[in-house]
Amino acid sequence: MTVSPMLDRLAAERATGALLRDHGTLYLVDGRVVHAESPAAPGLDVLLTAGGRLPRENWDEAVDRAGARREVGRFLVTSGRLGDGELEICHLGAVFDAAFFALAPGSGPTRFRYGVAHWFGSVRPVSAAAVERETLRRRELLDNVWPYPAVDAAPVRPRPAEPGRTVGLRQRALLAAADGARTPADLARLLGRPAFHTLLDVRRLAAAGLVETPLDPVPAAPAALPSWVGEVATDPDIALLRRLRDALEASL
């Protein structure tokens, strides 16, 4: 399965430029992905600064001194702000995170601007095939955890945990920051975490019954059915029934 036919074609052409979609942009050099950004995903600056790895003034200095040369990443290493391997790992995570949203289905028309480069510069190029494989893997993982994407854009509202139920440190921090108004994207920026990993945590919490789960649209009941059928579809405990159904199917 191909995620983006245009990306495949540009990779085969060894094209250099920016692949623009409504949900993000991928930057290519010789057909390989060197950077990606999306409004739905925190940028590398947020991941490094809000995550506590780099003071904001160090990031701003790197952009001011090396942005015009498109060598921000290299400056962070040569100035001793980050280790070479550390930068590669952080940057690769940011690329896969943004690419996941940029290549989302229904992301609008795809355009390509030849010759456009990003001011951050190249760190370690990634093949288009690797980006597509990782994007598909992440889609499948989300659906396997909780196949109802309505939670991805809804405000995260914690629910009381059942007696004896515990969650990990990452999920506890997420629940503590969830105020009933912040969406998963808001929480990712606040906590300095990749947006995909935040979505994954939210879906795991939804499957465990620890956050409220907005209902997907339910088709209107046929006129021949009794009125109580439509009322059941809006019952607030329908999420529990979904979890029970999924658990039963998994055990078969």
Strand order in the sheet with 17-21: 111-114, 17-21, 24-29, 32-37, 126-127
Positive/negative CA dihedral, 46, 52, 57, 60: negative
SS3 state at 63:
helix
Query: What is the pLDDT, as a whole number, of residue 156?
Result: 97
- Provide the pLDDT for residue 116: 97
Query: Please, which residues bridge with residue 114 across strands?
Result: 17
pLDDT of the residue at 235: 42
* Residue 127 identity: S
C-alpha 196/C-alpha 201 separation (Å) is 9
Bridge partners of 35?
27
Residue indicated by tokens 């994954």: 200
- Round to whole Å and give the CA distance between 135 and 138: 5
Neighbours of 145 (CB within 10 A): 16
In sign, the C-alpha dihedral spanning 93, 95, 101, 103 is negative
- Rounded CA gap, 196 and 123, in Å? 21
pLDDT by residue, tens only, the chain of 252 residues: 689 999 999 999 999 999 999 999 999 999 999 999 999 999 999 999 998 899 999 999 999 999 999 999 999 999 999 999 999 999 999 999 999 999 999 767 789 999 999 999 999 999 999 999 999 999 999 999 999 999 999 999 999 988 878 889 999 999 999 999 999 999 999 999 999 999 999 999 999 999 999 864 444 444 444 443 344 333 444 455 455 555 454 444
Q: CB burial class (10 A; 0-12, 13-18, 19+) of residue 66? A: buried
Name the phi and psi angles at 21, rounded to 5.
-135, 170
How many Å separate Cα 107 from the centre of its chain? Answer: 14
Q: Per-domain residue ranges for the chain?
A: 5-136, 149-251
